[in-house]
Structure 1
Amino acid sequence: MKILVIEDEKHNAARIQRIVEEINPSYQTVAVLQTVSASVEWLNAHAAPDVILMDVRLADGLCFEIFEQTSVSSPVIFTTAYDEYAVRAFKVSGIDYLLKPIEKQELIVALLKVKPVSAGFQPDAGLTELLKVFIERNTVYRRRFLIPSFDGYKAIAVEEIDLVYSEFKVTHITLKNGSVEIVSQSLEDLEDELDPETFFRANRQIIVNVNCIKSIQNELNGKLRIILKRDFDTEILVSREKAPVFKAWLDR
């Protein structure tokens, strides 16, 4: 495997090279670059490496400028001390996003995702969803809903919700007691407002609470079926593309 390292701090670059060599002595670091300009020049003059280990903040700017100035056909593992650029990273060939100091086991897992450039690199769209848990960990999430009632309002704690679903462009919440309420927020809004540790967007119509899941079943073509503890009639299917993300979310 041919690896290009783009890192402006020499001690970090040396650490990455040392870890790469420990992982597999046959892995080859083809170059170590420190700037946006040097990276653009190198990429224009050489064949694409199998993977690029790229710091976000370089000596002469952010690494995203590289993608604006040249074509990057290699998968990229971003390495940085900051998590604020995560989603942006996955929009430009990112296959993983590692916080410094880089740990050997994390890099091993990241490198396992690398496929040869000749096979045709395609970024994994599901990774962006996994990153939401990572970059939103300090967010204050919704704790209750204020629902209009016939003589005023009633407060419903988020813990009482089994499902959030959209039907005919109206958002509903199904409670543990079996009742259903209508809320004004869209499913997209609630996906951001609800804690991703507890709630998962299973498909375009449904957000499910992990605590109401009884089991999951394999379906044809790699899909998954969610079986609920209290509502066996509701059919919740997870697509083949989203299935690995869903299983990783459950297995934590």
Structure 2
Amino acid sequence: MNVVIIEDEFFSAEKLRILLQQIDPSLEVMAVLPSVEKAVSWFSTHPEPDLIFSDIQLEDQESFALFERLAIDAPIIYTTAYDQYAIQAFKQNSIDYLLKPINPEELRAALKKYEYLSQRFVSKNPETPKSDPKERFMVRKGNGFTVVKAQDIAYFKSDQKLSFLITFDGQKLLVDATLEELTEQVDARRFNRISRNRLVCIDSIQKIHPHFNGRLKLELIPADEEEVYVSRDRVQAFKEWINS
């Protein structure tokens, strides 16, 4: 496996290189790149690696700028001392997000995850496409009904056997459908069923925080009345959806 490390701290890069080769002696580090400009130059003249390990705050700017400037398909494992970049990272080609100092077991798990996902996507047969997602929903408003465009919906939630949609401008409107039915009707690229009672749009997710017992805690726009969590059994699918 060929790897590139994007890291501006020499000792952090060296420690990561040593850990990687301890885990997999056949692994080859093709380059250690300390800045976005040097990374742009390198990727413009070299083939892509199998996997990229990237810090976020580099000596010239954030590494996100690299992936905005170049179309790089290689998966990325972010390594950083800060957790506030998680949602932005998962919107890139990220398959994992490791906090410094790097824990060897977490690094080993991240590499296993890369191998698992690589094998899965190579061997997976094309799925039968679903019918086109709904572009609008008729909902109750006052004594009548109104129509809400799918692009205006931040998330759906169920409460006491009723389903509601919440728009980006903060309206909470009753929907005559179950969350199971809504999950089948929306665009799966934009909406994800994170728990038994929440179906969220990717554009509504402001921040992602690790939480107790393997769950993830989300900050949504607009803010929900209750704390919002990704169920533990849905975390892996959620991460794959964010990264798709």
Interval containing the TM-score (normalised by the shorter chain): 0.5 to 0.7
SS in 1 for 2:113: coil
CA separation in 2, counterparts of 1:45 and 1:3? Answer: 16
Query: Equivalent residue for 2:162?
Result: 167
After TM superposition, give the deviation of residue 164 of structure 1 in Å.
3.7
Q: Decide which structure has the larger Cα Rg and report it.
A: 1
Query: Larger relative contact order (C-alpha < 8 A, sep ≥ 6)?
Result: 2
* Residue of structure 1 equivalent to 2:92: 92
| 1:73 partnered with 2:68 | no
1:40 aligns with 2:34: no
**What is the match of residue 156 of structure 1?**
none
Aligned ranges 1:171-210 → 2 under 5 Å: 201-202=195-196, 204=198
Quote the offset at 1:120 in angstroms.
6.1
Residue of structure 2 equivalent to 1:215? none
**CA pair 201-70 structure 1, distance change in 2 beyond 3 A:** same
Q: CA 1:71–1:117 in 2, change beyond 3 Å: closer, same or farther? A: farther
Question: Would the aligned equivalents of 1:50 and 1:117 in 2 still touch at CA under 8 Å?
Answer: no
CA RMSD of aligned residues (A): 3.5
Paired residue for 2:61?
61
Q: Residues of 2 paired with 1:186 and 1:12: CA distance?
A: 50
Q: Which runs of 5+ in 1 are unaligned?
A: 122-162, 172-183, 188-199, 207-240, 247-252
Equivalent residue, structure 1, for 2:15: 15
Q: CA deviation at 1:106?
A: 0.7
Q: How far, CA to CA, are the matches of 1:205 and 1:101 in structure 2?
A: 34
Q: What is the distance in 2 between the residues matched to 1:89 and 1:5? A: 16
How big is the shift at 1:100? 0.5
**How far apart are the structure 1 equivalents of 2:71 and 2:97?**
20
Give the CA deviation at 1:245.
5.4
Using structure 2 for the length normalisation, give the TM-score. 0.53
- The offset of 1:169, in angstroms, is 2.8
Partner of 1:195: none
For 1:190, the equivalent position in structure 2 comes to none
Q: CA deviation at 1:10?
A: 0.2
* Equivalences, count: 149
Contact 2:164 2:172 survives alignment (8 Å): no
Query: SS of the counterpart of 2:11?
Result: helix
TM-score normalised according to structure 1 size = 0.51
Q: CA shift at 1:24, angstroms?
A: 1.1
The whole-number CA distance in structure 2 between the counterparts of 1:112 and 1:75 is 13
Match of 2:138 in 1: none
**Distance of 2:197 and 2:30 partners within structure 1:** 42
**Alpha-carbon separation, structure 1, partners of 2:235 and 2:55:** 30
